[in-house]
Amino acid sequence: MTSSGCTVLLKGVDVDGLEFSSNGYASIWPGNIVSVAQQAVTGWGCNIIRLPLDQDWWFGCTNAKGSTSAAAYQGMVNSIVQFCNDNNAYVLLDLHWSGTYNGTSPTTPCGGSGWGTATNQQPMADANALTFWSSVASTYANNPSVLFDLYNEPYGTTWAAWQSGGSAGTIWTPGMRSLLGAVRSAGATNVCVIGGLNYAKDYSGFSGNPVTGVNVAYAAHLYGNQVGNTASGWYGFVGPVTSFGPIFVGEFAPSTSCNTNDPTYDTNIFAWIGSPAISGGTAWSMTSNSCPNLLQNGSSFAVTTWGAAVTTWLATPPPNCIYTLTPTPTLTPCGYPGNTCTPTDTPTPTDTPTATSTPFANSDIPWPNPWDGSAPLTIQHSITKPADSVELKVYTIAFRKICEVNNLDTGKTNGHPIYTLSWDQMGNVANGLYYVVIVEKRGRKQNRIVLKLLIRR
**pLDDT for res 393:** 79
Q: What is the pTM of this model?
A: 0.72
Q: Phi, psi (5° rounding) for residue 146?
A: -115, 125
Cβ atoms within 10 A of the Cβ of 290, count? 18
Continuous H helices in 201-291: 224-227, 231-238, 263-272
282 forms beta bridges with 12
Q: Are 30 and 302 in contact (CB under 8 A)?
A: no
As a whole number of angstroms, the distance between CA 217 and CA 277 comes to 10
Q: What is the pLDDT of residues 92-108, one digit of tens each?
A: 999 999 999 999 999 99
Decide if pLDDT at 324 tops 60.
Answer: no
**pLDDT for res 148:** 98
CA 276 from centre of chain: 20
Mean pLDDT of 44-53: 97
Say which DSSP state 44 is in: T
CA distances from 226 to 26, 96, 216, 217, 229 (A): 33, 20, 26, 22, 9
**pLDDT grade for 392, boundaries at 50, 70 and 90:** confident
Q: Is the dihedral of CA 31, 37, 40, 45 positive or negative?
A: negative
Mean pLDDT of 223-240: 95
- Which range is most confident: 31-35, 304-308, 333-337, 360-364? 304-308
253 forms beta bridges with 223
**pLDDT grade for 303, boundaries at 50, 70 and 90:** very high
**pLDDT grade for 375, boundaries at 50, 70 and 90:** low
DSSP string, 102-162: --SS---TTTSTTTT--SS--SS--TTHHHHHHHHHHHSTT-TTEEEE--S---SB-HHHH
**pLDDT for res 277:** 85
Torsion from C-alpha of 340, 207, 200, 142, nearest 10 degrees: 30
Indicate the range of 43-57, 115-129, 390-404 predicted with least confidence: 390-404
Q: What is the pLDDT of residues 304-313, one digit of tens each?
A: 999 999 999 9
**pLDDT for res 3:** 38
Decide if pLDDT at 365 tops 50.
Answer: no
Q: 377-455 has which fold? A: Immunoglobulin-like (2.60.40)
Region 10-314: CATH code? 3.20.20.80
Per-domain boundaries in the chain: 10-314, 377-455
Decide if pLDDT at 355 tops 50.
Answer: no
Spatial CA neighbour of 227 closest among 255, 257, 259:
255
377-455 matches 10-314 in CATH topology: no
More confident of the two residues 370 and 269: 269
Q: What is the pLDDT of residues 332-350, one digit of tens each?
A: 233 323 333 333 333 333 3
CA distances from 65 to 98, 121, 387 (A): 13, 13, 38
More confident of the two residues 1 and 110: 110
- As a whole-number percent, the residues of the chain with pLDDT over 90 amount to 60
More confident of the two residues 117 and 402: 117
Mean pLDDT of 424-430: 58
As a whole number of angstroms, the distance between CA 3 and CA 7 comes to 10
**pLDDT for res 24:** 86
Q: Is the dihedral of CA 272, 275, 152, 76 positive or negative?
A: positive
Mean pLDDT of 140-168: 96
Residue 93 zone, left/alpha/beta (φ > 0; ψ -120 to 50; rest)? beta
Burial of 351 (0-12, 13-18, 19+ CB in 10 A): exposed
As a whole number of angstroms, the distance between CA 16 and CA 21 comes to 9
Q: Are strands 90-97 and 146-149 parallel, antiparallel or unpaired?
A: parallel
**pLDDT grade for 377, boundaries at 50, 70 and 90:** low
**pLDDT for res 391:** 81
Indicate the range of 180-189, 256-265, 429-438 predicted with least confidence: 429-438
**pLDDT for res 446:** 74
